Amino acid sequence: MGEQKTVWDNPAEIIRHLQPEHPVMVFAPTVLQDRARQFIAGFPGLVTYAVKSNPEEAVIQNLVSAGIRGFDVASPFEIDLIGRLAPGAARHYHNPVRSKAEIAHGIAAGIRAWSVDSASELDKLLAQVPTQVEGEGVEISPRFKLPVLGAVYDFGSKFGASPEYAAEMLQRVAARGYVPSLTFHPGTQCVDPGAWESYIRVAGEICQMAGIAVRRLNVGGGFPSYRVQGVEPDLQAIFDKIAETTAETFGENAPQLVCEPGRGICADAFALVARIKAVRDGANVFLNDGVYGGLAELPIIGNIDRVQVLTPEGRPRPGERSGRVIFGPTCDSVDRLPGELNLPDDIAEGDYVVFQGAGAYSTVTNTRFNGFGQLAHATVMALE
Ligand SMILES: *Cc1c(COP(=O)(O)O)cnc(C)c1O
């Protein structure tokens, strides 16, 4: 699609003009910038972007334009990417498990904020990481966890220490001369503000147990995107709950707040345009993209039902909607969307299904399994 228009009006215009045979990931930079500004204005602290959710260069550049000045990075690749695209921005190396070579890479890149969730990984940091970089203290944040609350996906099963263990690590961090902070991640697509409330209260208990006042409290990512019709996330309600609980828990000496949203910032700025390859015997729908491509997340966290079905002329199909089983293009039987998706009765082979809110954990997890996954990219003014 390279020689075509550089900015289209919307997905319908792309479909009408190109009738693309391969899936297209459609990006609306204005939507991304608006969302970033909403976080910056509404969140009571520093907003850092979790690069892993969508590391496209255009995403990073638009976030920098919108005023994002910090990034949550998880690997040497992401450290270098942000060093190149956003020089001077804060980089928080918040993958709590790293090889010695990865730690050395972070040190050479000038990383000043690290997280950790185990004594053995903390030993590795203490042995290698300086306490100061260019005259500023280096921060180490124990990451703690609670049983999963309100999120659709349990990150706590892989990362996070118990509150008692986090308190012990906090004491070691402070004793060794690093800046003591705390971090947690409530789990992705967390629609319940109460999850942050529980975590912040426990952060207060950890500080009391440890006898340490932390400089910063990172409340993680997990901010929801708009995936299901009629359940539009209320980000401001979450921001307000975070501010209120922090004030109640810590009073005058409240730590500075940091958040590290991925999905909440990038997901709703993209739509995935997939083509219907077949409506097999009038029933099951086969798309040219599936769980090995841009829809990798759906079996894990559920269907996106904000979908439009457009004809090859870019016109919406007006039919009554009813449930259909949707398969992806590969020959693997797991290449199927969970449950059923409501699609218009008059859908036909050659139509397009536009999945809204598809920008997180989609371009990055796209594979070339079975020779599919040739994902094209396009930029639009608006997503509908
Ligand atoms: C993945 C991740 C994030 C971003 O999560 P979202 O649910 O996309 O907001 C933030 N922090 C950490 C530590 C992560 O691993």
DSSP, res 109: T
Domain at 141, CATH number: 3.20.20.10
* Domain identity same for 150 and 250: yes
Domain boundary, last residue among 208, 237, 266: 266
* Domain identity same for 260 and 274: no
* Domain identity same for 83 and 117: yes
Best of 114, 185, 362, 365 to mutate for ligand 1, by most ligand atoms within 8 A of CB?
185
In Å, how far are 141, 274, 348 from 7, measured between CA atoms? 42, 19, 28
pLDDT of residue 2: 47
Q: Does any domain span residue 311?
A: yes
Q: Does any domain span residue 43?
A: yes
Distance in angstroms (rounded) separating the CA atoms of residues 205 and 199: 10
* Domain identity same for 56 and 12: no
Q: Which is the closest atom of ligand 1 to the Cα of 153?
A: 7
Are 118 and 92 a contacting pair, CB within 8 Å?
Answer: no
pLDDT of residue 351: 98
User: Which token pair is 277?
Assistant: 């390859």
What are the backbone angles phi and psi of residue 232, rounded to the nearest 5°? -75, 125
Q: Which is the closest atom of ligand 1 to the Cα of 94?
A: 13
pLDDT of residue 159: 87
Domain boundary, last residue among 240, 266, 292: 266
For the Cβ of 185 lying below 6 angstroms from any atom of ligand 1, the answer is: yes
* Domain identity same for 259 and 306: no
pLDDT of residue 157: 65
pLDDT of residue 138: 98
pLDDT tens digit sequence for 49-69 = 999 999 999 999 999 999 999
Region 230-257: what's the mean pLDDT? 96
* Domain identity same for 83 and 175: yes
Burial 130-165 (b: 16+ CB within 10 A, else e): eeeeeeeebbbbbbbbbebbbbbbebbeebbbebeb
Confidence category of residue 41, pLDDT binned at 50, 70, 90: very high
**Distance from Cα 262 to the centre of ligand 1, integer Å:** 6
pLDDT tens digit sequence for 285-298 = 999 999 999 999 99
Distance in angstroms (rounded) separating the CA atoms of residues 296 and 285: 17
Q: Does any domain span residue 353?
A: yes
**pLDDT higher than 50, residue 248:** yes
For residue 205, the surrounding DSSP H or E stretch is helix 193-210
Query: Under 8 Å CB-to-CB from 181, ≥6 apart: which residues?
Result: 113, 139, 140, 141, 214, 215, 216, 217, 218, 255
Q: Does any domain span residue 110?
A: yes
SS3 346: coil
For the Cβ of 222 lying below 6 angstroms from any atom of ligand 1, the answer is: yes
* Domain identity same for 123 and 189: yes
Confidence category of residue 231, pLDDT binned at 50, 70, 90: confident
* Domain identity same for 193 and 240: yes
Distance in angstroms (rounded) separating the CA atoms of residues 359 and 35: 13
Q: Minimal CA–CA distance to 242: which of 34, 32, 47, 31?
A: 47
Q: Does any domain span residue 1?
A: no
pLDDT tens digit sequence for 309-367 = 999 999 999 999 999 999 999 999 999 999 999 999 999 999 999 999 999 999 988 99
What are the backbone angles phi and psi of residue 367, rounded to the nearest 5°? -110, 175
Distance in angstroms (rounded) separating the CA atoms of residues 16 and 21: 12
* Domain identity same for 68 and 97: yes
- Is 259 noted as a catalytic residue in this protein? no
* Domain identity same for 313 and 338: yes
* Domain identity same for 222 and 242: yes
Q: Does any domain span residue 217?
A: yes
Domain at 323, CATH number: 2.40.37.10
Q: Which is the closest atom of ligand 1 to the Cα of 263?
A: 8
- In angstroms, the first-to-last Cα distance of the chain is 20
pLDDT tens digit sequence for 118-168 = 999 999 999 999 999 999 999 999 999 987 666 665 555 678 999 999 999
pLDDT tens digit sequence for 185-220 = 998 899 999 999 999 999 999 999 999 999 999 999
* Mean predicted lDDT score pLDDT of the chain: 95
* Domain identity same for 44 and 11: no
Q: How many domains does the chain have?
A: 2
Domain that holds residue 80: 29-266
**Distance from Cα 2 to the centre of ligand 1, integer Å:** 32
Domain boundary, last residue among 266, 283, 308: 266
Q: Residue with the nearest Cα to atom 3 of ligand 1?
A: 221
pLDDT of residue 158: 76
Region 299-314: what's the mean pLDDT? 95
